[in-house]
Structure 1
Amino acid sequence: MDAPQRDMELLSNSLAAYAHIRANPESFGLYFVLGVCFGLLLTLCLLVITISCAPRPRPRLLEDEEDTVTRLGPEDTLPSPELSAEPDGTVSINVFTSAEELERAQRLEERERILREIWRTGQPDLLGTGTLGPSPTATGTLGRLHYY
């Protein structure tokens, strides 16, 4: 088939489809809405399949330590701790097997310290006012008071 004949066939089919749509607008609307609904349903199914088949993220640091202990069998042993004397005379135990584990533990400890500090400074001043309720001149939301 050559190009002009293909173009004429496409034009003829397009005009026939337009004439059919003009003659039956209800059926066109029905098929259009069915097509959209089918597309949305197919998209939803594919999304659910993608989410359910996605690999689960590994638990963060705190749970990693518990997993290590639970995976060990009765014949397994933990690495032996290294003892070191601190300048004040106390003995600390280094149970980390690599510098990376030690660094991760230090970062975790620092993060926990920061969170505790944020939590402590974000609490309302219970001792200063003696009550939890706002004063008559205060406006604001739960836990945050704005005085004018």
Structure 2
Amino acid sequence: MPAASEMALISNALAAYTFIADHPERAALYFVCGVCLGLVLTLFALVVQISCRTDCKSQSSKSGAEQVETNGDSSESDSDWETTSDLSARRHRRFERTLHTNVFTSAEELERAQRLEERERIIREIWMNGQPEFPGTRSLNRYY
């Protein structure tokens, strides 16, 4: 004879089946909402993990002398503010470094990329000028 927990499981499964059979649209909506919520939570966890990993690497690279805490004169909120502004300043500096870093390792690669960019610009210009102009409409193509 099955136990009470097994009977409850079977009863819940039958109730779920009858609900899905009676309301397929609502069941599909609940399923899609659950999948979307799971994706959002996974994305949030991934962003937090990457952010924490980046912050932990930058903090562990500091030397022990820089990690000396200030004396108790400053309040807790001031210390939090300094930490937050220091973190944002480090992120800004890191962003600035990536903007000014040359991604090309040789002059030939840089020249090839510039030629490719110029070729794409010419193709875009030819495509824009080749569009037909219909009577009664003004086209911006002639301004490019």
The verdict on a shared fold, with TM-score over 0.5 as the criterion, is no
Instruction: Name the larger-Rg structure.
Output: 1
Q: Normalised by the size of structure 1, how large is the TM-score?
A: 0.36
Q: Normalised by the size of structure 2, how large is the TM-score?
A: 0.37
More strand by share: 1
More helix by share: 2
